[in-house]
Amino acid sequence: MIVDNFINLYHGFYIAGDPFNILLMVIGILLGVIIGVLPGLGGANGVAILLPLTFSMSPTSAIILLTCIYWGALFGGAITSVLFNIPGEPWSVATTFDGHPMARSGRAGEALTAAFTSSFVGAFFAIVMITLIAPLVAQFALQFGPAEKFAVYFLAFASFVGMSKEPPAKTIVSMMIGFALAAVGLDMVTGQLRLTFGVTELLNGFDFLIAVIGLFGIGEILLTMEEGLEFRGKAAKIDPKVVWKTWKTLPKYWATSLRSCIIGCWMGITPAGATPASFMAYGIAKRVSKNGKNFGNGEIEGVVAPETAAHAAGTAAMLPMLALGVPGSPTAAVLLGGLLIWGLQPGPMLFVEQAEFVWGLIASMYLGNVVGLILVLTTVPLFASILRIPFSIIAPVILVICAIGAYTVNNNVFDVLMMMVFGVLGYLLKKTNYPLAPLVLAIVLGDSAEEAFRQSLLGSGGSIAVFWSNPLVSTIMALGLIAGLWPLIAMGFSKLRGNTTQPA
């Protein structure tokens, strides 16, 4: 079986290695990086806009172009997170936690190199997994009903609790605000509107991207204005050798990388997606790493963990799309639409009937990521030097880009206003020392978690026992409980040892 896969992959490389296809890869990656840099535009929108252009190509060339846009967007999302604290994509939020502090202390080049390299490692791991065990993995994804999905979300929240430096009470308040915002809009389970107060603009609820652009991007600009209209990372030297220097330090973090790869693949397949994967990987890395206490102040490991996981998840998400016809991410959903137009029916038979297409695609994932890594690494000094532009010039540009981004999400002017409101909220929360991360996590996962919880209870007739009904769901729930209670457990251990130092 695995030998067959390698023979198929060899043929795939032959198809993907065609000069025209390589050219498409380069174009796709560059477009994707631009799309990823512009907040709000997003990979899904970018792919949707360009989809019609591909109808005249062969399906294999078309999907190579579109997936490369997707890889490019995954790479590009990290750039604005690191430089301006504005996550271009939802899965880059966790990258801001340490990436931006690094940039502020003049280490933007290092942070970008780490982010891009980790992205590549994560994606590569996921592709190898797809190559070797695709059918098994598809089988695993089928095990996930509502109860299992809720358990995964529970684990994501639990691995995040207590990780911020702020007091736990403030973390919980912040998370609850997030849940409340996530509840606005249509309740999927009853089909009723909630908390919209007859305002039609609220029908769609609060889009996660609007909240993020406002809370992080606008909030950050407000803070910088207060602190004297200056980027603190201004002193960043442009050093062409920064890539090599950073690479020398990265192998130290192999354990974090591997862990994040596994978390990412798992989240991408189930399909919870790249965003929870990045948060979970960051949370666990902070818990496990011996530098954990320094996370949030510009620790390179805090960039490696979420970026690796996000890319592993983003790549692994392609698998359920191809093998089951269920997209693991919004971008994958748009690609799915493309497959149908090219006359390819995703599903269990795709691997059998369209082997040339599938293996061409998988081979293009290998090549596309290598091409992507080379392209984005060459831009590191260029992007790092953006911070040398005076704040008074760059800030209005950022504001405009944020506004355009917020508008693009739903083509709605109301969202631009909401972004401003979130910006002020972000500023106030930061000033009063409330952590933003739990709020963001609750907005992005609150809805799905609630949905999965209620679907489980509908199925079980209201019995909570459904979350302990089989080995898979029980294991994940147990892991979640351990992760959630870890601060208490750690405190217990240190008490036992008679240790009076601060628990991790």
Partner 1 sequence: MKHLHALGLGAVTALGMTALSMLPAAAAWEPTKPVEFIVPAGTGGGADQMARTLQGIIAKHDLMSTQLVVINKSGGAGGEGFLDVKSNKGNPHKIVISLSNLFTTPLATGIPFNWKDLTPVAMLALDEFVLWVNAQEPYKTAQEYEAAIKAAPDNTFKMGGTGSKQEDQIITVAIQKALGKKLTYIPYKGGGEVAVQLVGGHVNSTVNNPIEAVSQWRGDKVRPLCVFDSKPLPYTDKIQGDLSWSSVPTCKSAGLDVEYLMLRGVFMPPGVTDEQVAYFVELFKKVRETPEWKQLMKDGAFNQTFMAGDEFKAWLEQSETTHKGLMQEAGFIAGN
Q: Which residues bind partner 1 (CB under 8 A)?
A: 44, 48-49, 51-52, 55-56, 141-146, 185-193, 196, 200, 203-205, 324-327, 330, 333-334, 336-338, 340-341, 343, 345-350, 410-411, 451, 455, 458-459, 461
Listed in sequence order, the residues at least 6 apart from 294 whose beta carbon sits closer than 8 Å to its beta carbon are none
Give the shortest CB-448-to-partner 1 separation in angstroms.
Answer: 9
Which of 251, 343 has the CB closer to partner 1? 343
Give the shortest CB-186-to-partner 1 separation in angstroms.
Answer: 5
Listed in sequence order, the residues at least 6 apart from 252 whose beta carbon sits closer than 8 Å to its beta carbon are none
Which of 106, 330 has the CB closer to partner 1? 330
Which of 196, 291 has the CB closer to partner 1? 196
Length, in residues, of the chain: 504
Which of 470, 499 has the CB closer to partner 1? 470
Give the shortest CB-173-to-partner 1 separation in angstroms.
Answer: 27
Give the shortest CB-196-to-partner 1 separation in angstroms.
Answer: 8
CB distance 179 to 302 below 8 Å: no
CB distance 175 to 442 below 8 Å: yes
Among candidate residues 326, 329, 295, the one with its CA nearest the CA of residue 435? 295
Which of 199, 482 has the CB closer to partner 1? 199
3 state SS for 31-68 = HHHHHHHCCCCHHHHHHHHHHHHHHHCCHHHHHHHHHH
Would you state the structure tokens that stand for residue 496, as one six-digit string?
A: 């036992």
Which of 232, 454 has the CB closer to partner 1? 454
Which of 111, 419 has the CB closer to partner 1? 419
Give the shortest CB-319-to-partner 1 separation in angstroms.
Answer: 13
How would you label 189-223 residue by residue, b for 16+ Cβ within 10 Å and e otherwise? eeeeeeeeeeeeebebbbbbbbbbbbbbbbbbbbe
Among candidate residues 58, 78, 63, the one with its CA nearest the CA of residue 25? 63
Q: Can you tell me which residue has the tokens 């605000």?
A: 177
Give the shortest CB-190-to-partner 1 separation in angstroms.
Answer: 6
Distance CA 164, CA 47 (A): 35
Give the shortest CB-223-to-partner 1 separation in angstroms.
Answer: 32
